[in-house]
Chain A
Amino acid sequence: MTTLNVKRGPEFTRILGLGVSRGENSVPNEDIIGPINSSDEWIRKMTGIATRVRANADTSVIDMSEHAAREAIDNAGIGADEIDAVILSTITYPHMTPGGAPILADRIGATPAAAWDISAACAGYCYGIGQADALVRSGAARNVLVVGAEKMSDYIDPADRTISYLLGDAAGAVVIGASDTPGIGPTVWGSDGSGAQLIRQTVSWLEVRDDDAAFPTLTQEGPSVYKWASFKMAPVALEAIEAAGITPDDIQVFIPHQANVRIIDQLVKQIGLPDHVAIGKDIVDSGNTSAASIPLATERLLRDGDAKPGDLALQIGFGAGLVYAAQVVVLP
């Protein structure tokens, strides 16, 4: 009987290199409080955010992705031609088709790498890491470029008091490849579409076409999202720790999606992370950049010296869908 060949990859993977690109402009609370009739004090109290990074009008999702990707590839010490797959996680790339990933792959010189976009909102980076880890270990790709990139400012309503004032523009990228030792723990992920209305686009494109609806922006049920993220995500994080075969005491760095400092603080409490753990809080200066927020916070922790290469980091993304994913990684 004829049998088919199957590929097998290396046993272990790790993050080989990291790169980021933040929007060019740091926008303080004072600049956005007018249309929402709010104050710097209220935004800081409710979210912890002091400024958010926003890109210039002519800077695209692909531009930021390219910058972050080139940095990640450089830091990984490989050539772009050694990348076999490019995964772009974004909910703000303004074309339904073609996806942004093939264009990104071409710009960085990775053609003919397999390239596709994923839509997993604020969990997108961790979804991408889970996919990349599996692709490398299966032998489907030697190295995978994972990029989380968002230009959220294209989809905000300045008068929206639910989410717009949180949002920033950025890209974060990593290269995942083979490793002699385990560098990415099992991904614990899932979804709950019954909560699809909690974080959403205001109207569909068909409503724009057929009903003269206003250009869609993002909106959320803030308190409900806070409750879900703070209390339902803690067990997911603990499951990722257990799946990695370690305990919370072994974690050196915690890098959750940068949704809100209040959520981050509550997660730390609910997970029961010890005091020695460094906590990613790049949101204070960068805002909520959706799929880019975890790599941004990672870069900030490393740059500030609060974390170092080789540290064990618990990362967890969660957002619109609802979708979520968590894994323990060794920092590059």
Chain B
Amino acid sequence: MALSENEVLAGLAEIVSEETGIDTAEVESAKSFTDDLDIDSLSMMTIVTLAEEKFDVRIPDEDVKNLVTVGDAVSYITKAQS
């Protein structure tokens, strides 16, 4: 069953926290992966891969550059699930 955006956000926050050590509460929709969370391109790929596994979706490499904010990723994953 497809997860809600809030559920995806919670799951994504766990992945980001595991990869970077950032507190899950800091992983908010409006935050930019690069500018606000200081996540580099390689860590972003790890997060994307773990998100693909966790949410059973596929996120092609060429789409990753469009995932600027946490909210962008949450929307992408939510849509990809449905």
| A positions within 8 Å CB-CB of B | 45-46, 221-224, 226-227, 230-231, 260, 262, 266
Contact = CB atoms under 8 A, between A and B. Distances in A.
Interface in B11-65: 40-42, 44-46, 48-49, 61, 64
Contacts of B46: 227, 230, 266
Contacts of B42: 46, 222-223, 226, 260, 262
B17 to A, nearest CB: 16
A227 B45 contact: yes
Q: How large is the interface on B (under 10, 10 to 19, 20 to 34, 35 or more residues)?
A: 10 to 19
Contact of B41 (A222, A230, A266): A222
Contact of B45 (A45, A46, A226): A226
B40 A45 contact: yes
Residue among A46, A222, A226 with max Cβ neighbours from chain B (10 Å): A226
A46 B48 CA distance: 17
A260 to B, nearest CB: 8
Contacts of A231: 49
Contact of B49 (A45, A227, A260): A227
Contact of B61 (A46, A223, A262, A266): A223
Interface of B: 40-42, 44-46, 48-49, 61, 64
B40 A224 contact: no
Given A223-B64, A226-B42, 18 more contacts: A46-B40, A223-B42, A223-B44, A223-B45, A224-B45, A224-B61, A226-B41, A226-B45, A227-B45, A227-B46, A227-B48, A227-B49, A230-B45, A230-B46, A230-B49, A231-B49, A262-B42, A266-B46
A260 B42 CA distance: 11
Nearest to B62: A224
Contacts of A222: 41-42
Contacts of A227: 45-46, 48-49, 61
Contacts of A221: 61
26 contacts: A45-B40, A46-B40, A46-B42, A221-B61, A222-B41, A222-B42, A223-B41, A223-B42, A223-B44, A223-B45, A223-B61, A223-B64, A224-B45, A224-B61, A226-B42, A226-B45, A227-B45, A227-B46, A227-B48, A230-B45, A230-B46, A230-B49, A231-B49, A260-B42, A262-B42, A266-B46
A258 to B, nearest CB: 16
B33 to A, nearest CB: 12
Contacts of B64: 223
Nearest to A262: B42
B62 to A, nearest CB: 9
Contacts of A262: 42
B73 to A, nearest CB: 15
B70 to A, nearest CB: 18
A13 B16 CA distance: 46
A134 B64 CA distance: 42
Contacts of B44: 223
